Amino acid sequence: MPKEFGECVVKTLHGMERHIRLAGKLLKKSFKYTTSNNIGGIGQGSGEGPQDCNVMIGLLKYAHARTTQGCTLLHPDGEQSIVRHGGGFVDDQIDVISLDSQEAIHEKDMVEGILLHWQNLLNVSGGDLSINKCAVGFAQYKFVKSLRRDYAVMKCIDKNEAQIELQPHNQFQLRLHLQGEK
């Protein structure tokens, strides 16, 4: 996000008054953001969350993309492809896309590795991720070409629905991973 856009958003938020919801009730008194009264941050409850998240984790997403392989998604026509990484989350939601296997159980190690990478990046920057609290859903899809040449559909082919527990890594493994493999 360009710096100027961020400054514009902050100036707008500084001029706004807002109500705060506590325990399901909306307070009648309104608050205005000031340096001494930031009410948990300018993004909290202001609709600014996604933009703030994008700015704050932009560098982490870049580092994650540089240190993981990612997954190449190829269009059915074979001419266009993109590489996706599971490097972004809001409220502990992480999206990981993989087309390598049609068996979710085989993807468990890959998902744990990606989560460990993300946990490491967050720890280095002062954040944290509780892997044992993460819920992961696996959904396998395939592209099905239509009779129309310009149209492709993705159909779900997941036939093995199951609970797969992710294992948190201990601090010793975490430190080794942060130092790099030797």
Is 109 part of a structural domain of the chain? yes
Is 126 part of a structural domain of the chain? yes
CA distance 15 to 4: 17
CA distance 65 to 107: 19
Confidence of residue 174 (pLDDT cuts 50, 70, 90): very low
Is 43 part of a structural domain of the chain? no
CA distance 177 to 114: 12
What is the token pair recorded at 68?
């993981």
pLDDT at 21: 66
Is 20 part of a structural domain of the chain? no
Confidence of residue 177 (pLDDT cuts 50, 70, 90): very low
* Beta-ladder partners of 93: 90
Give the least confident one: 77-86, 135-144, 166-175: 166-175
Tens of pLDDT, residue by residue over 83-118, are 666 544 455 455 555 555 555 556 667 777 777 877
Is 157 part of a structural domain of the chain? yes
Number of domains forming the structure of the chain: 1
Contacts of 62 (CB under 8 A, 6+ apart): none
Amino acid at 77: D
Per-residue burial over 108-125, b if 16 or more Cβ lie within 10 Å, else e, is bebbbebbbbbbbbebee
Confidence of residue 173 (pLDDT cuts 50, 70, 90): very low
pLDDT at 179: 43
CA distance 58 to 37: 27
Mean pLDDT score, 114-135: 75
Is 76 part of a structural domain of the chain? yes
For all residues of the chain together, what is the average pLDDT?
A: 62
Stronger pLDDT, 175 or 85, i.e. the higher one: 85
pLDDT at 37: 62
Domain that holds residue 136: 71-179
Amino acid at 151: Y
Is 30 part of a structural domain of the chain? no
Is 26 part of a structural domain of the chain? no
Tens of pLDDT, residue by residue over 25-56, are 777 887 776 666 655 555 445 555 556 666 66
